[in-house]
Amino acid sequence: MEVSNVRPDAPVTRGPSRVGMIGLGRMGAAIASRLIDRGHPLLLHDVRAEAMVPLVARGACAVGSAAEAMDVDVLITMVPDDRAVAAVWLDSDLVRRLPSATVHVCMASISYEMGNTLAEVHAQATRRYVAAPLFGRPFLAERGELDVIAAGDADAIASCRPVLDSIGRRVFEVGSIPAHANLVKIARNFLVANVIESLGEAFGLCAKGGLDKARFLEVLLDTSLAAPAYRYYGEYCVARSRETLLPMRLGLKDVELAVVAAEALDAHLPTAALIAEQMRAAISEGWGDRDWAALAEWVGERSARSSDHAAVPKHPLPIGARDPFR
């Protein structure tokens, strides 16, 4: 089946924003689907022509290059990582070819350094740029229930709000420095990784004592830790689910972004390095295509194999040093 590269017959001056999309992976395709549902005229570009076919069938228009997708009100970049972003935006003169009225919105999960670099090259070219990374899974994108973190020039954010509001249940504006949105994404994903790691350790501890982890989770979710993250990842681990929404190899990338950001900002983030090491070990044992939530299961199983890790010296807390909030 051929993919059309015909543009809309006439520009839209009122009503829904004209949107261009570069990158149609699982999340990008889900966002595009939602934007079509909301009536936004859509130009698409992906290096895989087959990724555009279902969306073209629903009324979107495919083009043969990223440059051809730029004659829009809002241009979204949703590619996998720093390398892909650099290939599109830094290894060419694409920024300077961006129409001055177009707002480029980068939703990709990129490093703090890349976030700063993108903002700098757009500023040098006097082009409009907003960083807007996302929280959520593709099925939430299709329902318009993502959480969007936006940062950049206030006027630029206002110009793209109709598009952001189409895909998000809420848009959090975190200031005028675009890379701050990337930092929020990185720090929040780091916290989620901590939840997964700590659940695995806690489940492993309970298992070593003969306590059923489902009973432990029941207690956990009916006390002060009854938060959505503990519920979702705890239930995933207890059920030993095989559903994969974010492969662990990609989850490792998110944790490594925290490690790199900490180095760039001279911050101390020891648990990020630990979790990255745990993920690499799990991946080396064939868990790379499992959801990153499965790290909790892997950690719990490893805990049951005492010979797999060195003994930790015992240094009990002195009397009076106990946590009063436990």
Q: Output the DSSP codes for 247-310.
A: BHHHHHHHHHHHHHHHHHTT---HHHHHHHHHHHHHIIIIITTSBGGGHHHHHHHHHH-GGGSP
Count of CB atoms situated within 10 Å of the CB of 221:
14
Find the helix or strand (DSSP H, E) in which 129 lies.
Answer: strand 128-131
Question: Three-state DSSP class for 40?
Answer: coil
Among 161, 94, 90, 89, which Cα is nearest to 132's?
Answer: 161
Closest CA to 26 of 71, 66, 79, 72: 79
Find the catalytic residue in 185, 213, 253, 314: 185
The residue length of the chain stands at 326
Instruction: Tell me how far apart the terminal alpha carbons of the chain are, to the nearest angstrom.
Output: 61
Structure tokens of 73?
């009100």
Closest CA to 88 of 77, 100, 72: 77
Q: Is 185 designated active site?
A: yes
Dist CA 247 CA 244 (whole Å): 6
Residues labelled catalytic: 185
